[in-house]
């Protein structure tokens, strides 16, 4: 079937013919959407939100300092910087600039995009900085002297690749990268992990672990916690299964838990979060349960498991974070955040922790389990700007920073409703409505990989959509994690159709409640959410007035052959398996384009530099739709990676195109 594809030539990412086609489509789209005072004003207002000097500079503790990465109009590529807590409390903190990415890019003639840094504990003097060209997942790794604010001459360095690196000590790191033939998995990630000593060539690095060619990736990391120094290695056979081993010299001791369970080790404790039911030791545990046991005793086979959290039909565990003496749980009850403190020294005593707004989110952003019981707490809601607070378990919670409102929310309402999907399952969704009724409605969703869509603040959506009179809707469909692992696993592979039935049910419910009409209902989504948009276009076109489909998967016949696609076969299935292609083929958007259908106006957006989801998905879909006579539009950013934007200027352009396209096509 792949050989019959007339648009395979568009899979040549930087081929001249493919890029000529991209440039022609971009010109059509920009000529239609980007001209005129209204678009310029919209783009500039969004850029103003993204570059605002009074945004909260979110921080992470690393030793005595709090680190931040900051982008604004003067520094579009960004500044890596740090300060102290005392200084951060001031209205205008003094920042110590560690690395100016814009200056670096100009000096080296590269379009560098910041991708993060691993700072060596416990002294935090060195970092492994990752920089990508144009925002791709593949990065260049360079060792950085944090105190001297400069790259280390003859320090650790890796050329561009999808590498995995982590510190062991100041002179030794774990490295997984492209060592040559056979060193990467079929998904393009490291299969071989080595120890690399300072001052030696990469070719002299010593192999400590190897995964299998069809794995997603192999990994290794060192825990430097004083008194609990340990090393772990392992492999991920697929996106959801992991084999993890304690590495003691050349000896590997497997942590015997279900393959799909998530494990973390902190000091003396092993935590196990289940993704499927588990029967062990004469007890049955539900998926989504969090268990604890003393780590050493568990490896010896003598530990008893303690239940720290057990889900019910309405409540799930969203996250957990250690402080020095406590464990903080973030739970969701019908997609509403609740926070708790567990204290192991007191028999795992559980108490509430002050949370966030009723229809909003509260998120633990950072803790310092090495030294104290502090935590950074972010709270917000659809119409409530973010607040960043600092707390100590058992003490007061102080507001550090509050964001000003980015749009006028006076009179706006936030409601939660439940739609009934085709199989009778209740699907929650949030509706944010402006003061005056009558504007178009924009619905979004994701529905995959156990990713929860939570009711947080977005100045971009507020300024670009709500403030103009539009209604905004977020659907919490299956495939996500809003009700725990089961909300996700019941919609995988052969049951993928449930994701699409859920989203269609929300769209139908919006109309039945009189919130909107099909002609006034637009939708958007990206990545797996872009696949959702493609399915809505080809299977449920009558429900929508316009669609924006971003960085999408669409050709599910070949997705596993393109870039990182093979790593997602645990989610979607293997199209080379006839039994699995049977159900994938029923929804794969590219294969289900039909002439003469009532397809709504659709804009496809992607990035040339996306090395996770291949831009050919969107390219080929548009080419095939155009050939069938549909008037779709297309825009491909040359930079941006999977986010489709490398800086705030590009991000503002992307959002402005999305909002303008929906607004124009939903006005009638």
List 378, 421, 458, 527, catalytic entry: 527
Between helix 16-33 and helix 648-665 the angle, nearest 10°, is: 60
The strand ranges marked E within 17-161 are: 60-62, 65-70, 79-83, 96-100, 112-119, 126-133, 139-145, 150-151, 157-161
The alpha carbon torsion through 384, 389, 391, 395 (nearest 10 deg) reads -60
Task: Determine whether 628 is exposed, middle or buried from the number of CB atoms within 10 Å of its CB (0-12, 13-18, 19+).
Answer: middle
Residue 144 and residue 153 in contact, taking contact as beta carbons nearer than 8 Å = no
For residue 644, give the 3-state DSSP assignment.
coil
Distance CA 136, CA 147 (A): 28
Q: Is 527 left (phi over 0), alpha (psi -120 to 50) or beta?
A: left
Distance CA 205, CA 591 (A): 46
Distance CA 144, CA 100 (A): 13
Distance CA 618, CA 625 (A): 11
Distance CA 246, CA 249 (A): 10
The alpha carbon torsion through 350, 353, 358, 359 (nearest 10 deg) reads -90
642 is catalytic: yes
Residue 357 and residue 379 in contact, taking contact as beta carbons nearer than 8 Å = yes
Between helix 616-627 and helix 528-539 the angle, nearest 10°, is: 10
Residue 551 and residue 606 in contact, taking contact as beta carbons nearer than 8 Å = yes
421 is catalytic: no
120 HSE (CA, 13 A, CB side):
18
Q: Which residues pair with 193 in a beta bridge?
A: 209
Angle among Cα 51, 56, 60 to the nearest 5 degrees reads 120
Residues with a known catalytic role: 527, 642
């Amino acid at each position: 079937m792949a050989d019959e594809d007339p648009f395979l030539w568009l899979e040549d990412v930087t081929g001249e013919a493919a890029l000529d086609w991209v440039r022609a489509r971009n010109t059509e789209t920009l000529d239609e959407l980007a001209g005129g005072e209204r678009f310029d004003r919209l783009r500039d207002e969004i850029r103003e939100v993204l570059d605002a000097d009074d945004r909260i500079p979110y921080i992470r503790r690393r030793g005595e300092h709090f680190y931040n990465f900051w982008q604004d109009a003067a520094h579009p590529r960004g500044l890596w910087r740090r300060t102290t807590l005392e200084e951060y409390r001031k209205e205008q903190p003094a920042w110590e600039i560690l690395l100016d990415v814009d200056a670096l890019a100009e000096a080296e003639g590269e379009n560098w995009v910041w991708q993060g840094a691993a700072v060596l504990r416990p002294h935090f003097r060195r970092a492994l900085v990752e920089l990508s060209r144009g925002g791709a997942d593949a990065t260049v790794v360079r060792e950085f002297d944090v105190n001297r604010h400069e790259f280390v001459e003859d320090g650790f360095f890796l050329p561009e690749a999808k590498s995995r690196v982590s510190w062991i000590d100041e002179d030794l790191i774990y490295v997984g990268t492209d060592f040559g033939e056979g060193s990467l998995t079929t998904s393009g990630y490291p299969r071989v992990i080595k120890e690399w000593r300072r001052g030696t060539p990469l070719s002299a690095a010593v192999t400590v672990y190897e995964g299998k060619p069809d794995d997603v990736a192999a990994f290794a990391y060192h825990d430097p916690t004083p008194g609990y120094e340990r090393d772990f290695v392992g492999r991920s056979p697929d996106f959801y299964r992991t084999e993890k081993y304690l590495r003691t010299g050349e000896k590997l001791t497997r942590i015997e838990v279900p393959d799909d369970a998530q494990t973390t080790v902190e000091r003396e404790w092993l935590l196990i979060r289940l993704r499927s039911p588990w029967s062990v030791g004469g007890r049955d545990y539900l998926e989504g349960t969090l268990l604890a046991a003393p780590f050493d005793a568990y490896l010896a086979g003598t530990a008893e498991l303690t239940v720290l959290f057990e889900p019910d039909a309405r409540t799930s565990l969203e996250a957990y974070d250690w402080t020095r003496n406590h464990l903080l749980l973030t739970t969701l009850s019908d997609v509403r955040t609740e926070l708790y403190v567990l204290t192991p020294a007191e028999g795992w005593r559980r108490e509430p922790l002050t949370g966030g707004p009723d229809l909003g989110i509260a998120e633990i952003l950072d803790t310092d389990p090495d030294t104290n019981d502090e935590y950074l707490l972010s709270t917000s809601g659809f119409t409530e700007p973010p607040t960043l607070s600092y707390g100590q378990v058992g003490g007061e919670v102080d507001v550090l920073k509050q964001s000003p409102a980015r749009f006028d929310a006076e009179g706006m309402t936030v409601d939660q409703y439940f739609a009934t999907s085709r199989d009778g399952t209740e699907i929650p969704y949030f509706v944010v409505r402006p003061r005056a009724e009558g504007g178009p409605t924009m619905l979004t969703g994701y529905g995959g990989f156990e990713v929860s869509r939570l009711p947080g603040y977005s100045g971009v959506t507020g300024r670009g959509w709500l403030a103009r009179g539009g209604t905004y809707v977020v659907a919490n469909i299956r495939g996500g994690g809003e009700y725990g692992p089961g909300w996700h696993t019941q919609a995988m592979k052969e049951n993928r159709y449930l994701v699409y039935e859920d989203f269609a049910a929300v769209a139908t419910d919006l109309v039945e409640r009189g919130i909107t009409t099909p002609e006034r209902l637009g939708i958007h989504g990206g990545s797996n959410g872009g696949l959702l948009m493609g399915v809505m276009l080809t299977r449920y076109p009558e429900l929508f007035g316009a669609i924006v489909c971003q960085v999408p998967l669409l050709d599910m016949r070949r997705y596993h052959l393109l870039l990182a696609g093979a790593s997602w076969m645990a989610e979607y299935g293997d199209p080379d398996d006839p039994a699995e292609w049977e159900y994938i083929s029923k929804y794969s958007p590219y294969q289900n384009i039909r002439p003469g259908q009532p397809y709504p106006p659709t804009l496809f957006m992607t990035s040339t530099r996306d090395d996770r989801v291949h831009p050919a998905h969107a390219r080929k879909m548009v080419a095939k739709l155009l050939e069938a006579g549909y008037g779709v539009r297309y825009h491909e950013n040359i930079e941006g990676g999977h986010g489709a934007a490398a800086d705030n200027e590009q991000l503002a352009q992307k959002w402005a195109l999305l909002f303008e396209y929906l607004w124009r096509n939903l006005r009638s």
